[in-house]
Structures are given as C-alpha cells and as structure tokens.
Structure 1
C-alpha cells in the first residue's frame, strides 16, 4: 500500500510518460493484462489510456487493471490511469520511493 507522499512522488514521475496501452470498446482482455504485466515488470510505472468509446465506467476499468495486473493504482485523472509495481529484483529497480513513516 502506497502512502500519499509516495503517490504524489509517482504522479510527478509519471507526468512526462506517454500512455503505452489503450482500453477501447472491447474492454480489458486477458492478453492485454499479460502485456501490461510484462511492461510493468520492465518499467515499474506506466500509463494506460481509456478511450472515449470504452463501454465501461472508468473507475471500474482502473480498478480492474490494478487488480488484474497486481499493481497499485497511483492515479486516475480524466481517462488516464497510472499504475505502479516495484520491480521484484533489486538490480532492476529504477524508481526509489520516499520512505513511508
């Protein structure tokens, strides 16, 4: 569980990122979840764009993405979802989170 200070730090880090996945009319598929898991293992922090033609509520989509990929939902702003998961191997970690009190 991320603290508010850590989420604020991650939001700042994600500001300059471009979305690398899009959720469209079909919603979230298993193949998409597998691809997002692979990307999150490499990058730790990603953005996902929910397209205007998506038939599902953006809050449900964001929650399903976080749950399906075993990541933390950092932010849902407009139709953009920011997801974070710390790399499992210490040598692959790129982002150093502020310490939780």
Structure 2
C-alpha cells in the first residue's frame, strides 16, 4: 500500500460476512481508513509519506 494510497477490494457474491465487518477487519489490519463501501466494493485509504491524496474530515 506504499505505492498506492487507495486500494479497491471487491467481495465475492458468496461472502457470508457482512461487508461493513469485512471493511473494518481489512482497515484495521492494513492500518487504513475506509474511504467508501459501494455494493460489494470496498475502498481503503492509507496515506503514503508523499501525501498524494487528502481526504475531507468526517463531519459525524
């Protein structure tokens, strides 16, 4: 994940674990933030040392 700050992960249709739970597990293990969950696609973000992308602050 050092080369790319954004990583797209696509879940298989037969995945028995909830997609939000999968996203949380992957984000925690990769030390990343969940940028988006859309359908079966999870987008993770982890800033590199170069800080190529800046995410907006969460308003919640």
TM-score range normalised by the length of the shorter chain? 0.7 to 0.9
1:51 aligns with 2:12: yes
Of 66, 69, 87 in structure 1, the residue corresponding to residue 27 of structure 2 is 66
Name whichever structure is richer in helix by fraction. Answer: 1
Relative contact order higher in (CA < 8 Å, ≥ 6 apart): 2
TM superposition outliers: structure 1 runs of 4+ over 4 Å: none
Residue-pair matches, total: 57
Which runs of structure 2 are paired with 1:55-94 in the superposition (5 Å)? 55-88=16-49, 90=50, 93=51
Structure 2 residues without counterparts, runs of 5 or longer: none
Q: CA RMSD in A?
A: 1.8
TM-score of the two chains, using structure 1 as the length reference: 0.50
- Unpaired runs of at least 5, structure 1: 1-39
TM-score (norm 2): 0.80
SS state of the match for residue 2, structure 2?
Answer: helix
More strand by share: 2
